[in-house]
Copies of this chain bind each other. A is one copy, B any other.
């Protein structure tokens, strides 16, 4: 079985880890930095493999998923196996037990986030809080872990480590919300008979804002058993016309703005500039 970690992944988590490793008090050797950066992508891929089994997703990154190619048994064990590789790498390359502990705790929150996802699916009473809690576990915790681990491994001060943790979290939250918004906009623009997620009862933030505002028409549409393309188009129009899409954009901007403010307080160096540029480009995608 071959799991090609390089197939289409953007390696965002390793990249953030390496950027944040520049804010510590000591420059660490690549002998430690590279395996730790890799461990974060491995942890990410492990969760994706299990997610794909659970959702029975046929494709990921334009390739057939592991369980499609090798069966569910191999996919579940492959995910488990990658978890152990993750722990092996961090136990070999992080110094303090405290760091490993922090990692285990963070991974715990990631998995709790996955479980929370169920609370939202097919639930027209889903709230923004539930959504934010879900993407917190699904995305933000791992971004936060990447940033924290980067700052901690290079012996950043407690203040810097805490700041990096927050920045990573905010970037992760913004990243996921913006991804949702782009999915929404793409589907709406090119008139795809899509919003596959919607059919599967997976509501992204713009819809949830409408549901939470007790928008009667939207609730009626989404409460139906089998959504037609017309239903989906009607729901999409409500979300745009009644301002829920813009509300979602404002929430994303709240996270990026907070991240930018905190990045500016970090030690001034090249990584700081890169981070500011990355976050600005992120939010500009939905402007």
Residues of A within 8 A of B (CB): 47, 50, 53-54, 72-74, 76-77, 79-81, 83-85, 87-88, 91-92, 97, 100-101, 104-105, 107-108, 111-112, 114-115, 118
Q: Smallest CB-CB separation from A105: which chain B residue?
A: B88
Which residues from chain B contact A84 at a C-beta distance below 8 Å?
A: 83, 104, 107-108, 111
Please state if B100 and A91 are interface contacts (CB–CB under 8 Å).
yes
Q: A142 to chain B: closest CB distance in Å?
A: 13
Question: Given the known A-B contacts A91-B97, A101-B92, are A53 and B76 also in contact in the complex, defined by CB atoms under 8 Å?
Answer: yes
Q: A141 to chain B: closest CB distance in Å?
A: 12
Which residues from chain B contact A97 at a C-beta distance below 8 Å?
A: 91-92, 97, 100
Q: Smallest CB-CB separation from A88: which chain B residue?
A: B104
Q: Smallest CB-CB separation from A85: which chain B residue?
A: B108
Per a CB cutoff under 8 Å, which of B72, B83, B101, B105 touches A83? B83
Question: Given the known A-B contacts A72-B54, A76-B54, A80-B79, are A101 and B111 also in contact in the complex, defined by CB atoms under 8 Å?
Answer: no
Which residues from chain B contact A87 at a C-beta distance below 8 Å?
A: 87, 100, 104, 107
Please state if A101 and B107 are interface contacts (CB–CB under 8 Å).
no
Please state if B54 and A81 are interface contacts (CB–CB under 8 Å).
no
Listed by A's residue number, 5 A-B pairs whose Cβ atoms lie within 8 Å are A54-B76, A80-B111, A84-B107, A88-B104, A91-B91
